[in-house]
Amino acid sequence: MRYIVIGAGAVGGTIGGRLFQAGHDVLLVARGAHHDAIRRDGLRLLTPGSARTLDVPVTRGPVRLRDGDVLILAVKSQDTVAALDPWSRDAPVVCAQNGVANERMALRRFERVYGMCVWLPASHLEPGVVAAHGAPKSGLLQLGRYPRGADELSERIAGDLSESSFAGVAVPDVMRWKYAKLLGNLGNAYEALCGHAPGHEPIMKRVRAEGRAVLDAAGIAYASPEEERARRGAQVEVRPIEGVERGGGSSWQSLARSSGSIEADHLNGEIVMLGRELGVPTPANGVLQREADRAARERLSPGSMAPETLAALIDAEARRTGPAPD
């Protein structure tokens, strides 16, 4: 079985690099300077206690698929459609992405779609280099058939991941885990906008209360924080890497790289959309979505907004739209 990893950034680069290290057939799909650096020098995979250069095959775009190929989609949600469009639709697709909309987008095009709930602390800020901060395992990767069920392929992929420095788990209810991860990812936009400045607790309490209220109103099941902690256990702990400063998560990295786009429309925006459909006010998530999108378009640096400014914008939006749930 060959793993074709579409999007060799922090998540995709770590998954592809670890699978390659364990002896699996891997092809990375990367763009621009990142592709050029990997092709010229190999993928530099930094982990706590080690730094390896891996001669992983890399391509800029689609290749002819072989029997047994598996596509692992690891691009940001806003790039899903464009990333999948050029590929043959015969292969199974694993959506190793934040958010909960990617699987439906993939299912319009591919018959066999799998969701993956990714807990993988990693960063990609320099072409050709990925830093994976998780230890003793690089990440907890739960996957299952979309919309539900676990099958032979998901079990096999989970087994390959477990042999490759991950905790790989095949689950029959992957979207329940992904909706729980969505609630956690609602803070990504705050981190991108405000960095690690103190004062996040009141804002994040409002943001996540809105998220839970919307999911509850929609009848959408999600795993509890206690379940998440029990599943992860001590398998994946964030540890330092010598010479690497871990600035922030995926949205923080989008601003740090001046990529021009950010994932807020598919994280906070998912809650905003459901809230509009159900008549549940979501002012805090709406402001985070709007301001994160603006920061990305204007290529602002992460941490450019004071928490007090953000809180004032949320208060103004709440007065305009009505109070959000407690």
Mean pLDDT, to the nearest integer, of 296-323?
A: 94
Distance from C-alpha of 140 to C-alpha of 134, rounded to nearest angstrom:
9
Distance from C-alpha of 129 to C-alpha of 200, rounded to nearest angstrom:
31
Q: Is pLDDT of 140 > 70?
A: yes
Model confidence over 228-263: pLDDT tens digits?
999 999 999 999 999 898 889 999 999 999 999 999
Distance from C-alpha of 210 to C-alpha of 213, rounded to nearest angstrom:
5
Model confidence over 91-128: pLDDT tens digits?
999 999 999 999 999 999 999 999 999 999 999 999 99
**Which pTM does this prediction carry?**
0.95
Give the pLDDT of residue 321. Answer: 85
Q: Which of 27, 125, 20, 224 is nearest to 133 (CA)?
A: 125
Give the pLDDT of residue 124. Answer: 95
**Which structural domains are found in the chain, ordered by start?**
2-172 (3.40.50.720), 178-321 (1.10.1040.10)
Give the pLDDT of residue 315. Answer: 96
Bridge partner residues of 46 (DSSP): 51, 131
Peptide bond into 136 cis (omega under 30): yes
Pairing of strands 43-47, 50-54: antiparallel
Q: Which residue has the tokens 């920061």?
A: 295
The set of residues, in sequence order, having a beta carbon less than 8 Å from that of 224 and lying 6+ positions away, is 180
Phi and psi at residue 153, to the nearest 5°: -65, -45
Report the half-sphere exposure of 53 (CA within 13 A, side-chain side).
7
What 3-state class would DSSP assign to 76? coil
Give 324's pLDDT tier (boundaries 50, 70, 90): low
Give the pLDDT of residue 198. Answer: 85
Mean pLDDT, to the nearest integer, of 32-55?
A: 97
Q: 324: which DSSP letter?
A: P
Model confidence over 162-218: pLDDT tens digits?
999 999 999 999 999 999 999 999 999 999 999 988 888 999 999 999 999 999 999
Distance from C-alpha of 12 to C-alpha of 72, rounded to nearest angstrom:
8
What 3-state class would DSSP assign to 47? strand
Give the pLDDT of residue 325. Answer: 64
Distance from C-alpha of 29 to C-alpha of 72, rounded to nearest angstrom:
10
Give the pLDDT of residue 199. Answer: 83
> 3-state secondary structure string, 276-312?
HHHCCCCHHHHHHHHHHHHHHHCCCCCCCCCHHHHHH
Give the pLDDT of residue 31. Answer: 95
Give 65's pLDDT tier (boundaries 50, 70, 90): very high
For residue 150, give the H/E element and its range: none
Model confidence over 145-160: pLDDT tens digits?
999 999 999 999 999 9
